[in-house]
């Protein structure tokens, strides 16, 4: 039996385990829960939507403020520790997983468990992980942040703030070959003592 709910010009219609959202003013409709599992373009778009929702949320702003208030060390660049937020803008660099990768990992975990989710439920879950300090990151000035994203500088796992390994275990990243390989490689370089400025860019 189907149940319909109307709010304004939006009609929600239950279809099995999903909810279909329709407009009373046109023919288009959309699934409430994400189900485009075999469309790489749709998956990429969905992940970026969740990422955008997180970055532009009040909770994320509050989180960054909380960090900089309670942990003075986060007001300084992690690579060039003599540079603080009084000298340049210090940003949060998600590491060893980027925010995009974190969303992908959390989403994949739900898919493997055959659990329904929306962009909002994923964003909330990931923000909760931030506040639980299970998301790893390092503070970097804007220039070094860009260099890190371009793999032009190396950041040791020893430099990471946050219990990223709990996230790794809780979300079974060992079962995701690409991400497991990334962490294994970073572990090797970290143990070997790879220098941050291994390309000599910051000299």
CA distance 155 to 86: 23
> According to the 3-state scheme, what is the secondary structure of 92-106?
EEECCCCHHHHHHHH
- Find the DSSP H helices in the chain: 40-55, 58-70, 99-112, 119-131, 142-149, 164-170, 177-192
Pairing type for strands 137-141 and 29-31 reads unpaired
Domain assignment of residue 10, yes or no = yes
Q: Are the C-beta atoms of 149 and 75 separated by less than 8 Å?
A: no
Residue 202 forms part of a structural domain:
no
Low-confidence ranges of the chain (pLDDT < 50): 1, 5-12, 19-24, 27-34
For residue 177, being part of any structural domain is answered with yes
User: Does residue 94 belong to any structural domain of this protein?
Assistant: yes
- For residue 68, the model assigns a pLDDT of 85
| Same domain, residue pair 15 and 111 | no
What pLDDT, on a 0 to 100 scale, did the predictor assign at position 40? 79
49 and 134: one domain? yes
Same domain, 100 and 20: no
- 130-160: pLDDT as tens digits: 999 999 999 999 999 999 999 999 999 999 9
Same-domain pairing of 115 and 175 = yes
Identify the domain containing residue 162 by its residue range. Answer: 36-192
pLDDT at 30: 45
116 shares its domain with 153: yes
Q: Are residues 188 and 154 in the same domain?
A: yes
10 with 90, same domain: the answer is: no
pLDDT given at position 46: 85
What are 69's two structure tokens? 């208030």
Classify residue 203: in a domain, yes or no.
no
Give how many domains the chain has, as a whole number: 2
Q: Are residues 6 and 80 in the same domain?
A: no
DSSP, res 80: S
Same domain, residue pair 59 and 125: yes
**HSE-up of residue 9 (Cα within 13 Å, Cβ side):** 7
In a domain? residue 201: no
Instruction: Tell me if 197 is assigned to some domain.
Output: no
Same-domain pairing of 62 and 75: yes
User: Are 25 and 56 part of one and the same domain?
Assistant: no
Say if 142 falls within a structural domain. Answer: yes
Could you tell me where the beta strands, DSSP code E, fall in 62-150?
90-94, 137-141
Same domain, 40 and 28: no
How far apart (Å, rounded) are the C-alpha atoms in residues 31 and 13? 10
The answer to whether the beta carbons of residues 148 and 142 sit under 8 Å apart is: no
* pLDDT at 32 (0 to 100): 43
């Amino acid at each position: 039996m189907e149940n319909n709910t109307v709010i304004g010009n939006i009609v929600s219609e239950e279809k099995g385990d999903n909810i279909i959202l329709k407009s009373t003013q046109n023919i288009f409709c959309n699934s409430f829960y994400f189900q485009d599992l075999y469309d790489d373009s749709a998956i990429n778009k969905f992940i970026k939507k969740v990422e955008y929702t997180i970055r532009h949320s009040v909770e994320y702003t509050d989180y960054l403020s909380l960090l900089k208030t309670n942990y003075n060390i986060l007001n300084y660049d992690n690579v060039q520790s003599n540079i603080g937020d009084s000298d340049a803008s210090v940003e949060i660099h998600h590491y060893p997983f980027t925010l995009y990768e974190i969303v992908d990992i959390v989403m994949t975990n739900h898919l493997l468990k055959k659990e329904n989710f929306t962009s909002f439920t994923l964003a909330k879950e990931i923000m909760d992980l931030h506040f639980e300090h299970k998301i790893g990151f390092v503070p970097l000035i804007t220039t070094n942040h860009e260099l890190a994203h371009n793999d032009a500088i190396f950041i040791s796992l020893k430099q990471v703030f946050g219990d990223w390994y709990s996230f790794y275990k809780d979300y079974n990243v060992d079962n995701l070959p690409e991400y497991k390989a990334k962490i294994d490689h970073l572990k090797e370089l970290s143990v070997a003592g790879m220098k941050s400025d291994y390309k000599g860019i910051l000299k």
